[in-house]
Amino acid sequence: MIAAFWADLMGLMRAFVVVFSLALLAAVPVRAADPTSQQDENAPPAEAPAQAPAAGPAEAPFGLKWGMHLNDLEGLGVQINSTSKNGDLTIVNAKTMAQAFPDTATVNMLFDSHAGLVKVRWISKPITDDPIGTKGRAKYGEMKKMVLQNLGNPTDETMVVGARLFDQEDEFYQCLSYDGCGVWSTLWEQKPSGGVLLSIEGEGPGRGFVQIDYESANWQKVVAVAK
């Protein structure tokens, strides 16, 4: 997961992408109604969202604070799995975090040596045996409700799904895992505070996960310096 996070981060910096995956969103400029309202009739009902500490773009999630430093994690119930450093940037992979959402697989935190914590990525436990994406879309809908509950009133929301994500019904996750093939995401912005990106990510046939990226207002500055 850390290798993938670094790859995403370096790609953003090389392209000077200011807010998460706007380049990807622009590449597939298809707006659609909420995909969670168009699920398969046999889709299992999404579980009621669990309560989690409120966290809007102006406030970091899971009890964290934008600008905090690595040593500030002590006492927050964070079990660090690994760390990786590149110049002024350090990625911390947390195996457990007391205030994270249920169904957490991992939480990645990006610290800048000057700006402190600037980005947080939450990753759900793997979704498997889901060839047409029914479970993934249900989980996406569940997490969307939870994010909106925590955000309050974001100033801007952009939902993007690929109009032709796949040719065959069972290629849902395969297409999501290929650059330029498909996207299933919602971006919230609350200027000038930052943003939140919710997405479904593919890992192969019938396999994927839901991901939530939180960025602070200083994320743009970090990208600009490191480009």
β partners of residue 146: none
**Mean pLDDT value across residues 181-188:** 86
Residue 40 pLDDT exceeds 50? no
pLDDT tens for residues 112-163?
999 999 999 999 999 999 998 999 999 999 999 998 888 776 667 787 766 4
Lowest mean pLDDT among 21-30, 56-65, 112-121, 202-211: 21-30
Say if strands 104-112 and 89-97 run parallel, antiparallel, or are unpaired. antiparallel
Our measurement of the distance from residue 159's CA atom to the centroid of its chain's CA atoms, rounded to an integer in Å, reads: 14
Give phi and psi for 96, each to the nearest 5: -135, 150
Range of the domain at 22: 2-226
Whole-angstrom distance, CA of residue 125 vs CA of residue 136: 11
CB 109 within 8 A of CB 1: no
Cβ pair 208, 183 in contact under 8 A: no
The whole model's pTM is what?
0.73
For residue 63, give the amino acid letter: G
| Domain count across the chain | 1
Peptide bond into 192 cis (omega under 30): yes
